[in-house]
Each structure stands twice: as structure tokens, then as C-alpha cells.
Amino acid sequence: MGATMVSDFGKRAERDEASSSRPEPVESSEDAEVSLDPRLDRLIGTSLQAHYDDIVAAPLPDTILVLLAQLDAKEKNA
């Protein structure tokens, strides 16, 4: 005999809302600065640079090349 799973998600959400008080938002100052661990900062920077390099090195899609050729042709005829 298989077990039937009954979701109490809605009930749980209602119970959580009723029983918990929401924390007050933290006021931020324009002068406040968040700093990351320098190793994490370098890792993120290296990863972003690698993604950017891949995008820049990727060939243009044929549809873009066709559009560019059409623009060049129109400029030569104008």
C-alpha cells in the first residue's frame, strides 16, 4: 500500500506568518561599504573576465552578419 503525501504548505505559510514577527529593515548608509574576502573578490573577477572574454571571442550569428551586410549596402547606395 503506497503512502499518500499531503501538502500542508499553505497551512505552514499561514502559521509562519501569524507566529513570526518580521525583522525591521536595516537602514543603510551611503557611506557604508561592504567588503568581500580578497580571495573571493579575485575569484569573482577572474570568473567574470573569463565569461566576458568568451563572449567577445564568440563569432557573430549569421543573422547579424546579414543585417550588417544589408546596412553596408544601403550606405553605399545612399
Q: Is the pLDDT of residue 3 over 50?
A: no
Q: Would you say the pTM of this structure is higher than 0.85? A: no
Enumerate the domain spans of the chain.
45-78
- Answer yes or no: is pLDDT of 53 > 50: yes
Q: Alpha-carbon distance 29 to 75, whole Å? A: 52
- What are the angstrom distances between the C-alpha of 5 and each of 8, 11, 57? 10, 15, 51
Mean pLDDT of the chain: 78
pLDDT in tens, 6-51: 445 555 555 555 555 666 666 666 667 788 899 999 999 999 999 9
Q: Which amino acid appears at position 39 of this protein?
A: R
State how far the Cα of 46 lies from the Cα of 52, in Å rounded to an integer: 10
